[in-house]
Structure 1
């Protein structure tokens, strides 16, 4: 029996893991394009407020919310990919057992 093909899941897990590391380091490339635009808008708002010597807690909260949501989404994506990989491995093992138990040898 051949080894189960889990390359697709491995690739998804690796890519999401790299993005998760980027999100945790607050690197903008790791965010989806829409979230990058939102962060840029919030940064612009914070800079505009700072030039007028005012604080911008709305912008800070918005940026922090984007980072937390991105991290949660990537953690969920990794968990789902690992679950799918485990299912493929379990199905391959069940098929191997069924094949061994059905024949003479």
Structure 2
């Protein structure tokens, strides 16, 4: 049971780390579908304003906010998974120690 749980957490950490790297490189594949849609909307506004030679600071802030939120969420997810993995490993070590201590002499 616990080895499969550790493997699942390792996969979760690896996936989140790859997504975090993608977010840091500003690659949209790393964003969830809803955030990709919001990003597309902000980019469309920027393109429409640029064709009229205007600036859109709200759209730029929205894009920066999406990237920032995604990065923070992924860092929190990685941290939580690492904490859960450490707790499982600690419990296993504690159980193993207790089992060895209860042996007969």
1:12-38 per-position Cα deviation (integer Å, ceiling 9, x unaligned): 000000000000000000000000000
- Structure 2 length normalisation: TM-score? 0.95
Q: Which residue does 2:54 correspond to in 1?
A: 54
Q: Which residue does 1:40 correspond to in 2?
A: 40
Question: CA separation in 1, counterparts of 2:25 and 2:49?
Answer: 25
Q: Structure 1 residue 98: deviation in Å? A: 0.6
Contiguous gaps of at least 5 residues in structure 2: none
Q: Which residue does 1:10 correspond to in 2?
A: 10
Q: Structure 1 residue 63: deviation in Å? A: 0.2
Q: Verify: 1:71 aligned to 2:83, yes or no.
A: no
Which ranges of 4 or more aligned residues in structure 1 deviate by more than 6 Å?
none
Q: Which residue does 1:26 correspond to in 2?
A: 26
Aligned residues: 102
Q: Structure 1 residue 104: deviation in Å? A: 1.0
1:57-82 per-position Cα deviation (integer Å, ceiling 9, x unaligned): 01000000000000000000000000
Q: Structure 1 residue 45: deviation in Å? A: 0.4
- Structure 1 length normalisation: TM-score? 0.95
Question: CA separation in 2, counterparts of 1:55 and 1:45?
Answer: 10
